[in-house]
Chains A and B, each alone.
Chain A
Amino acid sequence: KAGVTQTPRYLIKTRGQQVTLSCSPISGHRSVSWYQQTPGQGLQFLFEYFSETQRNKGNFPGRFSGRQFSNSRSEMNVSTLELGDSALYLCASSMAGNQPQHFGDGTRLSIL
C-alpha cells in the first residue's frame, strides 16, 4: 500500500514569492493534516481537511491556506513568503478524526 506522497521534496524560493505544496494521502484516507516543523518551534499544526472541508486551523497567518479535492488529495499555499517560513512542511493522513496519522516525507522549503 503506497504511503503519503508529498511533492516537491525540496523548494528554494525568495522572499515575497508564493508556493504550493501537494499531498496525496494513503488510499482510503479522507483526513489530511498539515504541519510545519522547525528546530525552534517543533511540530506545529497548520490545518486539517476532511471531505474537502477544513475542520480546524492552527495559529498561523492568513498567508497560509489549503484545500482538499474530491479525491482527498490536498494542497497548501503560502503567499508572500518570509524568511521565517523556512521549514519542513509535513502532510499526514488518517482514516478520520483521531485515527493514527501517517506522515509523508515532507517538503523542505528554504527561503532566501
Chain B
Amino acid sequence: QKEVEQNSGPLSVPEGAIASLNCTYSDRGSQSFFWYRQYSGKSPELIMFIYSNGDKEDGRFTAQLNKASQYVSLLIRDSQPSDSATYLCAGGDSNDYKLSFGAGTTVTVRA
C-alpha cells in the first residue's frame, strides 16, 4: 500500500475556476505535509506546507489538513494557465527523516 495517495487526475479546469487537489496518507505518524508544483522538465518547487489541522492560506493557495481523516488538500483559486503543472503531495514523519510523495496530479488550466 502506498503511503501517500493522490487523486490521479488529470484535472482540467477553466481559467478563473477553483482547482481542488486531494491527498490521503496511511502513516498516522506523519506530522508535516507539503505541496510541490512541478512543471514539465523542471524540479519540484515548494508552494505550501502545513503542520496543524485546519486551513492555511497563501495568496491563491489554501492547504487543508485533517489528521483524524488522514487527508490533505490543496485549493487553487482563480486558476491561471501558469498553474498548469503536476502537483505533488508529500508527508513527513519526524522520526524517520524522509518525505513520502504521492504520484502527483496533473492540472491543466484552460484559457
Contacts and interface: CB of A to CB of B under 8 A. Distances in A.
- Same complex origin of A and B: yes
Interface of A: 31, 33, 35, 42-43, 45, 48, 50, 55-56, 58, 88, 90, 97-98, 100-106
B15 to A, nearest CB: 28
B44 A43 contact: yes
Given A35-B101, A42-B101, 10 more contacts: A33-B97, A42-B103, A42-B104, A43-B101, A48-B98, A56-B98, A98-B94, A100-B49, A101-B99, A102-B46
B25 interface: no
A37 to B, nearest CB: 9
Contacts of A56: 96-98
A32 B66 CA distance: 28
Interface string B99-111: 1111110000000
Contact of A98 (B36, B88, B93): B93
Nearest to B31: A98
A105 B38 CA distance: 11
Interface string B28-58: 0001101010000011111001000000000
Nearest to A46: B98
Interface in B67-111: 88, 90, 92-94, 96-104
Contacts of A90: 43-44
Point out which of A31, A45, A48, A105 has the most chain B C-beta atoms below 10 A from its C-beta: A45
A43 B34 contact: no
A104 B45 CA distance: 9
Contacts of A98: 31-32, 92-94, 97
Contact of B43 (A33, A48, A50, A103): A103
B99 A31 contact: no
Nearest to A42: B103
B74 to A, nearest CB: 15
